[in-house]
Chain A
């Protein structure tokens, strides 16, 4: 008699768990896709500005041809990129080149006085920041997604529906800001 209650109860609990986990996985996957398309949009915006920047800067920076080649090459790489890894590499190359260009620009007072350059600089530094945050968002989402896919017992459901672990959008030289551990309960203030 007890068994006749127990069996349906277990079935309901298991079914609820499957539904919950499946929905969570779908939610995380969509979040990751949104985050990735965010990165993509930002990269697009940045590389759209690159020819403009090169055009503005090249009259001033006669001795920095190498830098300008580097940023142009990053753009070509990115245009050809088809995988996320290639995207990340182009991103990395461009980020480094842009940083150098803005650092070197300090030595060119005429350039620093150019209104067009200043506008481009603010825009590009803003985009760099957005790319960094979009990347952080993406990697954190992937981290949670991968944990759900790998951890028992949710891995059973992930395997059942064919969810695969995904790569991080990685940038080697980018550990400038280390993320601190944050406690969310905010202490014992009354």
Chain B
């Protein structure tokens, strides 16, 4: 079977699995906290409603959530003709519809794509990337992002980021509620919050961190690099871009956000070590050195 088609099928399967796991988790939390309140069905229903809301947001609004988490804003053709033309050219090369184009106003070069399918996708790049790349290099980067879109990597990544992000957000809120409610006149209620908080923080949050890693595999980066080289017919463009991007990551990067790091073409959390084997320990991305070597061997 065509490796791209089976990769797409695997992405869809994993996305479904992610939602499924999420639903089970919500059902459990709802049931347990309902049990404490003396009405498990009520807790269950509340959890189901919250799940549905999160599902709708992550599936239909995922790209907007991701864009605003990353601080990206949409730009038009008139504002950024060079970027816009390049994205349009690569969408033609990939045979996919034109995605929306976003920019992040930071000097660190990087890029990502998001969305639930090729019809509803966005491509975002930083100002630093735009300033530093020549046309061939920018084409390579955009081709890599178009490959993620065409391969449905964006579906899984977007959903995973939003779902995991919701957990992180919830644990922050719960922590606050646990602290403020702790002195409690109504100790019964704060008990429930405390218990839910414990479940989320101790069990579910680390589990999801692990799942995020599983969702955003290293294999998909190699595949996207290879597909990108196929689109442009010029692997050196992407190789040279990766070299520049990975050496220009900085410590305490403005892009560093645990939920989003796996999305970028080069992991922003690695700082200047993104190029070498050090980064092999963080499993979302293979070392850029290795990706560059493979591109140059094509």
**Which residues on A are within 8 Å of B, measured CB to CB?**
31, 34-35, 38, 42, 119, 122-123, 125-127, 129-130, 132-134, 136-137, 177-187, 189
Contact = CB atoms under 8 A, between A and B. Distances in A.
A129 B86 contact: yes
Interface stretch (B114-122, B205-213, B219-227): B219-227
Contact of B298 (A35, A42, A127, A182): A182
Contacts of B219: 186, 189
A145 to B, nearest CB: 14
Given A129-B139, A133-B89, 4 more contacts: A126-B86, A130-B92, A132-B89, A182-B230
A187 B85 contact: no
Contacts of A184: 3-4, 223, 226-227
Contacts of B254: none
Contacts of B294: 187
The 5 nearest A-B residue pairs measured at CB: A126-B85, A186-B222, A133-B93, A129-B89, A179-B233
Nearest to A134: B92
Nearest to B231: A133
Contact of B226 (A42, A126, A136, A186): A186
B276 to A, nearest CB: 16
A119 B82 CA distance: 10
A137 B3 contact: no
A181 B93 CA distance: 16
Contacts of B81: 119, 122-123, 126
B95 A122 contact: no
Contact of A180 (B90, B222, B233, B286): B233
Interface residues of B, number: 31
Interface in B78-116: 81-82, 85-86, 88-90, 92-93, 95
Contact of B93 (A31, A119, A137, A186): A137
A35 B95 contact: yes
6 contacts: A31-B95, A119-B81, A129-B86, A132-B89, A137-B92, A189-B219
Interface in B189-243: 218-219, 222-223, 225-227, 229-235
B94 to A, nearest CB: 8
A189 B222 CA distance: 9
B233 A178 contact: yes
Nearest to A184: B3
A133 B92 contact: yes
Nearest to A180: B298
A185 B89 contact: no
Of residues B92, B93, B95, B223, which shows the largest number of chain A Cβ atoms within 10 Å of its Cβ? Answer: B92
Contacts of B82: 122, 126
B92 A189 contact: no
Contacts of B231: 133
Contacts of B135: 129
A175 B225 CA distance: 22
Contacts of A180: 229-230, 233, 235, 298
Contact of B3 (A38, A126, A179, A185): A185
B226 A182 contact: yes
A189 B88 contact: no
Interface in B30-70: none
B232 to A, nearest CB: 8
Nearest to B229: A182
Nearest to B2: A184
Contacts of A130: 85, 88-89, 92
A49 to B, nearest CB: 13
A96 B278 CA distance: 48
Contacts of A126: 81-82, 85-86, 88-89
Contacts of B95: 31, 34-35, 137
Contacts of B86: 126, 129
Interface in B273-298: 286, 294, 298
B85 A122 contact: yes
A11 B225 CA distance: 43
B233 A136 contact: yes
B223 A177 contact: no
A35 B94 CA distance: 11
B98 to A, nearest CB: 11
Contacts of B85: 122-123, 125-127, 129-130
Contacts of A119: 81
